[in-house]
Structure 1
Amino acid sequence: MEKESVQKEPAPKEPLDKKPGDKEPAKPRRTPAGAAVLRPEVTDAIRAAVFEELATVGYGRLSIERVARRAGVGKAAIYRRWPSKLPIVLDLVSALAEQGVPAPDTGTLHGDIKALLKAIARIMRHPVAHQIIPDLLAEAARNDDIAQALRTALRDSQQAMAEAVVHKAVTRGELPPDADVTLAVDLASGPLYWRLVMGRAALPPDYLDTLTTAICAALGAPAPSRAG
């Protein structure tokens, strides 16, 4: 069972020079006696257990009891952090969105898009993500909170990366100023999600190069020269 430290206030002491009629000094704000201090390592263990449970049984069968058992903590440790399983999952998805994937900066549009595709493919190949993403997308059809969290984690984060890549390409003169960022997001993530997550198929050796060239062409970039 997990134990978390508790903050206790020492008993107040009377000042030695206090005289009758003196006003009581203002009391500083303090943590209520007995309030638990949430240990970060316990929180990390719970989050890891939630990821593993989601990959194993899915959101529908996810339970606080199973998470507590896998994390090696008591249920009270979980309830001190989240009131139910939905806020836990929303917290995890939001954390993923904040981490994101750094926007590549290779110096060329072709290089940036290929680096971006490699990063997305690496995430989608991860065994945990491979199981969790389709399950949460299915839950999103029934739960607006999960749907919004996924939009932020998946769509909005990729939109920000695509905007950075397209903006740099426009500045370098590789793309026209009206290049469609939304199209770039669709073309970068859609084919990979379909092949790796839905089709669960391996990528051919030259697939990322072919997809990169197709995305550049769709965005209005000139075809790379043979010499380049």
Structure 2
Amino acid sequence: MSSTPAPPPATPGPSGQPARRTPGGPVLQDSVTEAIAEAFFEELAAVGYARLSLETVAKRAGAGKAAIYRRWPSKLDMTIALIRAVAVDASEIKDTGTLRGDVRAFLAELAGALRHRLPSRIIPDLLAEGGRNPELAQELMTAVRDTRRSKATRLLERAVERGELPADVDRELALDLLAGPLYWRLAVVHTETAPDYLDRLTDKLLAAFVA
């Protein structure tokens, strides 16, 4: 999650303003949906999932609580939908033409996301909440982990096609190594990095991939 997200673009309504219609329901103005989404992530970062209330989100968004219920039936549904939108909209892994360039770009994008004030507070909270809420945990794994790992897998496949990695490279372990060290440093122990840290980490990862 590299920024406060907005839902996918809606279909323009009769007035020219973006809008969408629920099945058999009212037209939903996209500007209101975006305001609710932004308020949701701000509130989630401020108080955490357990203390987050739909009333507070609605107030922060300048909307009525009914506006939320017209879009999502519960706090859990809203959380899952908005987190999924963030994961799906995550930027594609850059194809720089080399494995080293791809890994370095991947690490830079991940570092930027983890340093953002919202994800740095939201991600640990949702992971902790997932331990108490199996449905939320499963959705997080499917929407966030699986989506990002699928995109990172393409990074490895490109390297295999270019002959930079052997065809039998341990993809599962490589994917763990790609995200694990940086996530631990920035999101768990909250230790900043030296200017050359990503370059040094890239070199270590490349050596591990072919070991």
Matches within 5 A, 1:1-228: 35-220=25-210
- Where 1:176 maps in the other structure, the secondary structure is coil
Partner of 2:18: none
How far off is 1:152 after superposition?
A: 2.2
Structure-2 residue corresponding to 1:28: none
| Cα distance, 1:154 vs structure 2 | 2.9
Following superposition, the deviation at residue 156 of structure 1 comes to: 1.1
User: If the length of structure 2 is used for normalisation, what is the TM-score?
Assistant: 0.86
Q: Is residue 97–residue 152 contact of structure 1 (8 Å, CA) maintained in 2?
A: no
Query: Following the alignment from structure 2 to structure 1, what is the Cα–Cα distance between the partners of residues 137 and 185?
Result: 22
- Bigger relative contact order (CA 8 A; separation at least 6): 2
Where does structure 2 lack aligned partners over 5 or more consecutive residues? 1-13, 15-22
Give me the TM-score of the superposition, normalised by structure 1. Answer: 0.79
CA distance in 2, matches of 1:69, 1:83: 17
Q: For residue 171 of structure 1, report the CA deviation from its aligned partner.
A: 1.1
Q: Letter of the 2:82 partner, please give it.
A: L
Whole-angstrom CA distance in 2 between matches of 1:103 and 1:151: 19
Percent same amino acid at aligned positions? 53
Deviations 1:106-135 (CA, angstroms, capped at 9, x unpaired): 111111000000011111111000010000
1:96 to partner: Cα distance: 1.3
Moved over 4 A (4+): none
Deviation at 1:193, TM superposition (A): 1.0
User: Any gaps of 5 or more consecutive residues in structure 1?
Assistant: 1-6, 8-30, 222-228
Q: Determine the structure 2 residue equivalent to 1:10.
A: none
The aligned length equals 190
Alpha-carbon shift at residue 158 of structure 1 (Å): 2.4
**Cα displacement string for residues 80-105 of structure 1 (whole angstroms, at most 9, x for unaligned residues):** 11111110100011111211221211
Question: SS of 1:61's equivalent?
Answer: coil
Aligned position for 1:15:
none
Structure with bigger gyration radius:
1
CA RMSD in angstroms comes to 1.6
Decide which moves more: 203-212 or 46-55: 203-212
Matched AA of 2:160 = V
